[in-house]
Amino acid sequence: MMKNKNLIGGDKDLSAVLVIFGGTGDLTHRKLMPALYNMLLDGLVPENFQVVSIGRRDKTEEEYRNEIRISMEKYSRNKVDEKIWARLNDMIRYYRFDFRELDKYNELKEYLDGIDDNAGTLGNRIYYLAVAPEYFETIVVGLHRADMAKSKSSWRRLVIEKPFGKDLTTARELNQKLLEVFDEKDIYRIDHYLGKEMIQNIMVLRFSNSIFESIWNNKFIDNVQISLTEKLGVGTRGGYYEHSGAMRDMIQSHIMQILSLVAMEPPVNLKTDSIRSEKLKVIEAIEDINQEFLKNNVVFGQYGNGIIDDVPVVGYREEDNIPENSKTETFVALKLHINNFRWAGTPFYIRTGKRLGRYGAEIVIQFKDLPNILYFKDRNQEPNILVIRIQPNVGVFFQFNTKDFSTHHDIVTTKMDTSYVSPTQGNTPEAYERLIYDILRGDSTLFSRWDEVEAAWNVADKIIRYREQCKIELPNYAAGSMGPERAFELMAKDGRRWWNI
């Protein structure tokens, strides 16, 4: 939880109107509004701040606010306090508008300017695009035509949710369109994983502990595993997921970001661009993944029916809006090499999937074994393992060997766990609290810079193209399992295994 109580309350420069395109959508109800509520509770919302939710549906402001209130009860990580809610309630406006009507943006402009006059929001704006990606361009063009995208006397920021394009070409085209209207420094590309506590903690763990940083390389680390596994299926998002699959949904974005934080060199300072430049170099150093390499080092899967937490669930092809012969992958396991001095020879194993038997996000650092002499002459040794636990537990786990107190020389494996169960699980609202707060302050460190997105697409595209060509029998894993058999073989042929901590 952020504890900077009253940190920015009253600061005039942060006064702003948050304009949410997609104000009646799922993201606004489940994440954005609860995040704003909790930010208010923590004193992180400026005194002069207004939220304008844009929706196509005809409803009064009161009706809209009541709906948000109901969502607040469901999704806020803190209980709803009447006084705080009353403040948020007062800040929320509902503006009925079909954002595809480009000639109506002038009216929106007038409306927002009117709010500035009454609420002292100084013309500062956050345009948050919580809409389907096909509308990103339309909205940006609308903002541009009505002269709302830039202002000499105030700041204007654009926030976009993923997916950012569906391959390198479309991402480039979209980016080009955005850059015709907004400056790169004003574009905030959300990757909500970067807002999670333990993801931010990766750099702190690495660069503030001599014990870790001195051995954080191929001389001491045997392999790194990044696992983001979900019990949930595609739910109501079939229409989107069918064209996305795990490669675009998780690997191109969240996993590439995590990988770059785990493997990056220490930046020269903690400034946004210094950090982003080091992250970019990691993705650029990923060994060229040609078809021959992929044949042996990637596994795709799709879930069939099965049982999750004792409840029978349908297979992917039976989900809503999914064709019965769908080839979309809901699981990927992958081995990558980062070809630089720090990492050459240390493999990075990645695994992500839906409808798996276990829910969690973890980074496992497995250290190299000692020579099999002395204590390990006659017994197998358990490796030292450091686990950065992102969710549902949040914290660090460390495994090491000690003498068994009750015998003369037996060795036992000791597990030290500083992690605790996070009060909120999954797509954590805290992530959004942190991210919205940073957008307000104009700090884009936890957002993806264009060249990072581009480099990640460059890698993902090659794997997606390979997947489109390979013939796999699908579905190939049962819901409730830990993915296709081949994902285990991927490890076993290297003499390793997936760690489930």
Residue-wise DSSP of 411-447: EEEEEEE--EE-SS-SS-HHHHHHHHHHHHHT--TTS
Place of tokens 């015998």: 407
Nearer to ligand BG6, 384 or 424 (CB): 424
Least distance in angstroms from the C-beta of 328 to ligand BG6: 12
CB 305 within 8 A of CB 313: yes
Q: Choose, from 29, 254, 337, 408, the residue flagged as catalytic.
A: 254
Least distance in angstroms from the C-beta of 431 to ligand BG6: 7
CB 400 within 8 A of CB 412: no
Reply yes or no on whether 192 is catalytic.
no
- Is 16 in a helix, a strand, or coil? strand
Computed from CA positions of residues 499, 295, 291, 368, in that sequence, does the dihedral angle turn out positive or negative?
Answer: positive
Nearer to ligand BG6, 24 or 257 (CB): 257
Least distance in angstroms from the C-beta of 392 to ligand BG6: 10
Residues forming contacts to ligand BG6 in the complex (CB under 6 A) are 230, 249, 361, 426-427
Nearer to ligand BG6, 35 or 361 (CB): 361
Least distance in angstroms from the C-beta of 1 to ligand BG6: 17
* Start-end of H helices in 131-225: 136-145, 168-181, 197-207, 210-213
d(CA 263, CA 186): 27
Nearer to ligand BG6, 200 or 427 (CB): 427
Least distance in angstroms from the C-beta of 361 to ligand BG6: 6
Nearer to ligand BG6, 100 or 243 (CB): 243
- Identify the helix (H) or strand (E) that includes residue 95: strand 92-96
Strand partners of residue 420: 394
Cis link prior to 383 (omega < 30° from 0)?
Answer: no
Least distance in angstroms from the C-beta of 428 to ligand BG6: 6
d(CA 180, CA 450): 14
Nearer to ligand BG6, 78 or 427 (CB): 427
- In the chain, helix, strand, coil percent, each to 5? 40, 20, 40
d(CA 194, CA 261): 10
Least distance in angstroms from the C-beta of 424 to ligand BG6: 10
Nearest C-alpha neighbor of 400 from the set 409, 411, 389, 410: 411
Nearest C-alpha neighbor of 118 from the set 91, 153, 81, 97: 91
- Taking CB positions, which residue lies at the least distance from ligand BG6? 427
- Is 98 in a helix, a strand, or coil? coil
Nearer to ligand BG6, 401 or 427 (CB): 427
Q: Provide the CA 50 distance to its chain's centre, in angstroms.
A: 26
Active-site residues: which are they?
Answer: 254
